[in-house]
Amino acid sequence: MDAVELITTKRDGGRLSDAQIRWLMQGYVAGTIPDEQVSALLMAIVWRGLHPDELATWTAEMIASGERLDLSSIDRPTVDKHSTGGVGDKVSLVLTPLIAAAGAAMPQLSGRGLGHTGGTLDKMESIPGWRATLSPQEFLQTLRDVGGVICAAGPSLAPADRKLYSLRDVTGTVESIPLISASIMSKKIAEGTESLVLDVKVGSGAFMKNVDDARLLAETMVGLGNAHGVRTTAFLTDMDTPLGNCAGNALEVTESVAVLSGGGPSDLVEITVELAREMLRLAGLDADPGALLASGAVLPTWRKIVAAQGGNPDAELPEASERVVVPASRSGYLTRLDAYRLGVAAWRLGAGRARKEDPVSASAGIVWHARPGDQVTEGQPLLELHVDDPGRVARAQEALVGAVEIADEPVERRPLIIERIS
């Protein structure tokens, strides 16, 4: 076969055959098809899309490029969650021990933050001693013993996706619903879980800015999951406003522990319980995740998960050396707290990274002391910037311009849970 033929076929709006897609994936992983030709094909896909049959084969070949984990030795039903990313989204930290405490097993293979969105592994690594990398044997043993694990995906899981994602990141070909769907679902299907719930974020702080695009992404991923034998449901959830009361690695761990202790922000509790309820339904378990979380009974499971991966659940978390308060500019009602701008500000304070190899600060981040709908008074602390390097504050403050709106009257917000798709 000829890579140029594949490129021109897709460029002109044609369909790739199963054999062509198989040849492409195998050749790219093996290194016999160069980046420049795959880049051209990816750009053609961005413009022309993939037919459902093409997408099914594309995803299947990404899965087949590596191993598919075997979770049959786990004596609990297995179910996982994936979020498309947002600001202040620490749901995985709460959800994993909650699902484990309710009787299922949750193999949460997670990633790192990039740009304005935080990464679950970066948050967990703010816990002294905790490690993200586990051997396959450690992964399975922790899942058997505790019922939940949060770790990095091994190199044998969908290696085609790892190569394609890196290429898309530097060639302007990230924004494609078929390519996004295949990337997410190839890893989740290869993970071997029986059921999956997707949290597709919508709004300023999300990858998908409008509901129609988010719905199409969710429907595409649900279709791929079910076609590969993974019971899959998706929720569209709001990300115009950041989740919880903070963004930043250690800050979000602290907030997660508060929720696991029976408290914490109401929006974080709401979305976690809704996702957990659906996950337990798919797993065939009859449990009340809201009551379980509110009782504080999930906290011991969290401690076991942390300890099983080398972390000290009693250790003090890093704290920033400096805090800068941003006061309310006037009295009134907070009507907007822009998730994207707050995420960029947290990133600039050191909580995020511009490139995958960049280090992150465990202690940097932002705390907000009011949410849309709250009444505020001029001069009261509204935002609190946590930073170790004072030289970062000015650029973070630049990112916050326009992030906050205060009006004379409150405005109605759209619901946190927008839609369920199955």
**Catalytically active residues, by annotation:** 82, 161, 168, 183, 187
Question: Under 8 Å CB-to-CB from 2, ≥6 apart: which residues?
Answer: none
> Which residue in 63, 281, 97, 56 sits closest to 192, CA to CA?
63
Tell me the chain's radius of gyration from C-alpha atoms. 22
What distance in Å separates the CA atoms of residue 100 and residue 403, rounded to the nearest whole number? 37
The strand pair at 195-202 and 231-238 is best described as parallel
DSSP 35-104: HHHHHHHHHHHHHH---HHHHHHHHHHHHHTS-----TT-SS-BEEEEE---SS--HHHHHHHHHHHTT-
Contact call for residues 204 and 240 (beta carbons, < 8 A) = yes
Are 215 and 398 in contact by the 8 Å Cβ rule? The answer is no
Query: Alpha-carbon dihedral of residues 163, 164, 168, 170, nearest 10 degrees?
Result: 20
